[in-house]
């Protein structure tokens, strides 16, 4: 199993699940990794915060009204029986030519996803 030293992930966020007795590490995928890696968010699990499972996708390519090619900083919270993923997105974003970025909320019955849109579009912080 990979250790933290083995993991390359952007914008990490860790949750503790007292019911499953496991930690989950969420992060941005597809940036700084293999060129064919899909942009989105993944989750890894650990019981000791030292060794982690292989990543599993929880949110991949978004299409429709919230279409994005920039994914950043997922945060996942449990609220009233469901899991909510808050994150920053953008479309047509590049370092040399920045575009608008926005926040969106996604929801799932499981902390392992898949997460689906909670609203029809971006939300105001």
pLDDT band at 95; cut points 50, 70, 90: low
Residues 46-55: pLDDT tens digits?
A: 999 999 999 9
Class of residue 95 by CB neighbours under 10 A (exposed 0-12, middle 13-18, buried 19+): exposed
- Residue-range domain boundaries for the chain: 4-117
Residue 98 confidence (pLDDT):
63
pTM over the 0.85 mark:
no
Helix boundaries (H) for the chain: none
Residue 10 confidence (pLDDT):
81
Please measure the distance between the N-terminal and C-terminal CA atoms of the chain and give it in whole angstroms: 37
Residues 14-39: pLDDT tens digits?
A: 999 999 999 999 998 765 444 455 57
CATH for 4-117? 2.115.10.20
Residue 34 confidence (pLDDT):
45
């Amino acid at each position: 199993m990979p250790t933290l030293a083995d993991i390359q992930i952007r914008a990490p966020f860790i949750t503790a699940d007292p019911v499953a007795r496991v930690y989950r590490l969420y992060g941005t995928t597809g940036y700084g990794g293999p060129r064919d890696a899909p942009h989105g968010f993944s989750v890894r699990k650990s019981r000791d915060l030292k060794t982690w499972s292989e990543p599993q996708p929880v949110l991949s390519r978004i299409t429709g009204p919230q279409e994005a090619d920039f994914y950043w900083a997922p945060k996942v919270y449990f609220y009233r029986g469901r899991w909510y993923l808050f994150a920053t997105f953008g479309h047509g974003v590049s370092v040399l030519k920045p575009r608008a970025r926005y926040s969106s909320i996604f929801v799932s019955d499981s902390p392992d996803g898949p997460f689906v849109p909670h609203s029809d579009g971006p939300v105001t912080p």
